[in-house]
Chain A
Amino acid sequence: MSVMGPTADHYPHPHLLGIEGLTPGEITLILDRAQHYAEKNRTADKTSNILAGSTVVNLFYENSTRTLTSFELAAKRLGADVINMTVGTSSVKKGETLIDTAMTLNAMNPDALVVRHGDSGAVKLLSEKVNCAVLNAGDGRHEHPTQALLDALTIRRHKGRLHRLTVAICGDIAHSRVARSNILLLNTMGSRVRLIAPPTLLPSKIERMGVEIFHDMEEGLKDCDIVMMLRLQLERMEGSFIPSVREYFHFHGLDRAKLANAKPDALIMHPGPMNRGVEIDSEVADDVERSVIREQVEMGVAVRMAALEILVQNQRAAPRGDS
């Protein structure tokens, strides 16, 4: 599709650590492959043996159900052997360091490590110490690239493009790695990004990332093609970011009245898990006409299959030496 610009003929990076540094062609390459899997996943013939014999380790330092399941399923559908390691953050502090864990796992020769960690930059640090492919499944407040890719795939399936769209990302931007990855991806692909949040939930100088800032939801949603809600991450908040959940919902929760400002065909998205009645009203979350929240979950598996396939194939074609 020429309207989407050129697709890269290969993915030149050893890892997927973030959206930062990816070209539009590389993003399109992953999305095209993911689209292929999205279709395949809806058939009876879901599995393949394309990654048979390879090992994927899911190393999660933060609790996660949906992302972990999604990655596990993605690897299994490609025929890879999967091991899940969930390490509570508290036990890390007492015991082995991140780098030691990385080296230990690396010694078992996995083909890919999927890592989630509560600290920004931790996945990159780990990637420097191993010689397998590393996928960032979320690091602190930094990036969550597969989430941005699955959001992009969902948008592309409905809007037919990723450029010249107006996308509003609403809510807890400050604590959100999803927001950062989405801003980077949508800007790279040529869409306009608006951020709508109370001032306390906007990180310093965020406007320098090429976004428009709104505090008022109704104003910010005007004529948007996409409304992306974020989860209010109360567990990451230290101090008073918002006075109360009630007040937050009153001003910044998405309900039908506020949504009326967006385009009539605007999509409603949410990376999940949703706090119903906090950032989103059930009525709009479950609106089958507008809400694509469940489709996002579906696309998650497809995007992760594409990413795993591309990275493990790269790794097989040109194994990286001992680092």
Chain B
Amino acid sequence: MPAIRAKASGKTAFVNVRLLDPASQTDCQGGLLVEDGKIAGIGPQITAANLPSGCTVIDGKGACLAPGLVDMRVQLREPGFEHQETIETAGHSAATGGVTTMVALPNTDPVVDDVAGVEFVARRARKVGLAKVFVYGAVSKGMEGHEITEMGLLHQAGAVAFCDGDQTIANSRLLRQALSYATFFDGMIVQHPEEPELSRGASMNSGELSTRLGLSGVSPLAEVIQIERDIRLAEMTGGRLHFAHISTGESVEVIRRAKKRGLKITCDTAPFYFALNENAVSDYRTFAKLSPPLRAEEDRQAIVMGLADGTIDAIASDHNPQDADSKRLPFAQAAAGAVGLETLLPISLELYHNGFMPLLDVIGRLTMHPARLMKLGAGTLAIGKAADLMMFDPDRAGKIDPYAFVSKSKNSPFDGRLTQGKVVRTIIDGRDVFVHAPWFEGQ
């Protein structure tokens, strides 16, 4: 790990950078001034020639400087599954991936369904001092799908939204009550849309490939059926409903229509669903076993289009660390999920390099939009905001090597994929938490 400065004090200037701020639609050459961990100045006028005295100068050499990534869907696996990931290892993984804020799912052991759980994660994260960690509170006690949690108290304690982890809130009455109750503090409910009866026992997308492999498949319809029901409930209650990691073309279409009708419906997807299709599981590759499963190529293309036209609000990493023993099993028995923090940016940049989205829009889906959904006040380069920044070279060639991951788990379906774009520096409250070594040495 390169040298990490313990504390931000005084002034730091980033000069000779390409500033990317989706909130103000800024995309220009310039510099950014940090004072006491906060952004104090930004713009083309900040150059090496006109800096205040006593300022540490970091020459970006033309690299992009953007808000640190805001990852709205991460599994930290602590407490309960520390052999897979901890708040500390996830923090280092996030720093390496340019992520400065993450929102953790409540599906730990114990489940984050009470105030103590929220405070535990917050305390541990403060101590680790890497990416800022926020948590989801569980919607139902123990994520069992029966009774709602103390949502108001959880909200007050700092839970930024509510979900039942990677489980669907299947009970219509429960979801209706949660949506309705949360309106009094404008809380957002996040759904994992997968109709449980249709998807029971399934380990991949249903279709020709599942038939050939002899694996039980779940139809893409299981996702859209759940979304359609839930949209009705959101409409009825006026609640804020967000669909996590949507993966099918039909889902995009249904959400697009709901948004047109003015409903408070939002959604995100994960890089897997716009960068891979179901063929990745051929040969029973358990690292490509995900929930929801990878879909057909038409679905993948529809997800790209949904991102490009803004139907899909955000990209989240869906970071789900699994140890080797959970994956080295026959496909049906293997755990679903993949690590994602360290591949979030380079895979998302494919949208830009392949000409589907402007660079600023890709960054927006990874910063400003998720931050706004969660009301985090992060994800912009505005003066007075915390200096949570990410410097990256959008063109640098690389190859994904899971064994080089900082995360405790190495389960990535992107193993060996060639990438374009690399995080070179991650800054939280003005402190360097990650500096890409060769870049650093080259200074």
> A residues engaging B (CB < 8 A)?
20, 97-99, 117, 119-122, 124-125, 139-143, 177, 180, 203-206, 208-209, 238
Provide the residues of chain B in CB contact with A120, threshold 8 Å.
213-215, 284, 330-332
Q: Is there an interface contact between A121 and B284, defined as CB atoms closer than 8 Å? A: yes
A319 CB to closest chain B CB, in angstroms? 25
Is B26 engaged at the interface, CB distance under 8 Å to the other chain? Answer: no
Closest A residue to B209 by beta carbon equals A205
Q: Is there an interface contact between B284 and A124, defined as CB atoms closer than 8 Å? A: yes
Q: Is there an interface contact between B214 and A124, defined as CB atoms closer than 8 Å? A: no
Query: CA–CA, A97 to B333, complex, Å?
Result: 11
Closest A residue to B216 by beta carbon equals A141
Checking A121, A205, A209 against B331 with a beta-carbon cut-off of 8 angstroms, the contacting residue is: A121
Query: CA–CA, A117 to B206, complex, Å?
Result: 22
Provide the residues of chain B in CB contact with A206, threshold 8 Å.
211
Query: CA–CA, A9 to B73, complex, Å?
Result: 56
Q: Mark B99-134, 1 if CB is under 8 A from A, else 0.
A: 000000000000000000000000000000000000
Query: CA–CA, A245 to B211, complex, Å?
Result: 25
Checking B215, B216, B325 against A121 with a beta-carbon cut-off of 8 angstroms, the contacting residue is: B215
Q: Mark B357-385, 1 if CB is under 8 A from A, else 0.
A: 00000000000000000000000000000
Query: CA–CA, A193 to B217, complex, Å?
Result: 24
Provide the residues of chain A in CB contact with B168, threshold 8 Å.
none
Q: Is there an interface contact between A124 and B333, defined as CB atoms closer than 8 Å? A: no
Those of B300-332 within 8 Å (CB) of chain A = 325, 328-332
Residue with the highest number of chain A CB atoms closer than 10 Å, among B206, B211, B284 = B211
Q: Is there an interface contact between B333 and A119, defined as CB atoms closer than 8 Å? A: yes
Q: Mark B204-222, 1 if CB is under 8 A from A, else 0.
A: 0011101111111101000
Closest A residue to B328 by beta carbon equals A99
Provide the residues of chain A in CB contact with B201, threshold 8 Å.
238
Closest A residue to B331 by beta carbon equals A121
Q: A121-B284, A204-B217 are in contact. Are A98 and B330 (CB under 8 A)?
A: yes
Number of inter-chain CB pairs below 8 Å: 72
Checking A125, A143, A208 against B214 with a beta-carbon cut-off of 8 angstroms, the contacting residue is: A143
Query: 14 new A-B pairs (CB below 8 Å) besides A120-B215, A120-B331?
Result: A97-B329, A121-B214, A121-B215, A125-B328, A125-B330, A140-B215, A142-B213, A142-B215, A177-B214, A204-B207, A204-B219, A205-B211, A208-B208, A209-B208
Residue with the highest number of chain A CB atoms closer than 10 Å, among B217, B329, B330 = B330
Q: Is there an interface contact between B217 and A121, defined as CB atoms closer than 8 Å? A: no
Q: Is there an interface contact between A204 and B210, defined as CB atoms closer than 8 Å? A: yes
Task: Give the top 6 A-B pairs by smallest Cβ distance, nearest first.
Answer: A142-B214, A119-B330, A121-B284, A141-B214, A120-B214, A122-B330
Provide the residues of chain B in CB contact with A204, threshold 8 Å.
206-208, 210-211, 217, 219
Interface bracket on B:
20 to 34
Q: Is there an interface contact between B219 and A121, defined as CB atoms closer than 8 Å? A: no
Query: CA–CA, A142 to B284, complex, Å?
Result: 11
Query: CA–CA, A208 to B215, complex, Å?
Result: 16
Query: CA–CA, A119 to B211, complex, Å?
Result: 14
Closest B residue to A202 by beta carbon equals B211
B35 CB to closest chain A CB, in angstroms? 55
Can you spell out 27 A-B residue pairs with CB atoms less than 8 angstroms apart? A20-B212, A97-B329, A117-B330, A119-B332, A120-B214, A120-B330, A120-B331, A121-B213, A121-B215, A121-B284, A121-B332, A124-B284, A140-B214, A140-B215, A140-B332, A141-B214, A141-B215, A177-B214, A180-B212, A203-B210, A204-B207, A204-B211, A205-B206, A206-B211, A208-B211, A209-B211, A209-B212
Query: CA–CA, A142 to B209, complex, Å?
Result: 11
Provide the residues of chain A in CB contact with B7, threshold 8 Å.
none
B66 CB to closest chain A CB, in angstroms? 42
Query: CA–CA, A99 to B200, complex, Å?
Result: 26
Is B283 engaged at the interface, CB distance under 8 Å to the other chain? Answer: yes
Provide the residues of chain A in CB contact with B210, threshold 8 Å.
203-204
A182 CB to closest chain B CB, in angstroms? 13
Residue with the highest number of chain B CB atoms closer than 10 Å, among A99, A120, A122, A141 = A120
Closest A residue to B201 by beta carbon equals A238
Those of B210-250 within 8 Å (CB) of chain A = 210-217, 219
Provide the residues of chain B in CB contact with A121, threshold 8 Å.
213-215, 284, 330-332
Provide the residues of chain B in CB contact with A97, threshold 8 Å.
325, 328-329
Query: CA–CA, A262 to B211, complex, Å?
Result: 28
Provide the residues of chain A in CB contact with B330, threshold 8 Å.
98, 117, 119-122, 125, 140
Closest B residue to A208 by beta carbon equals B208
Provide the residues of chain B in CB contact with A140, threshold 8 Å.
214-215, 330, 332
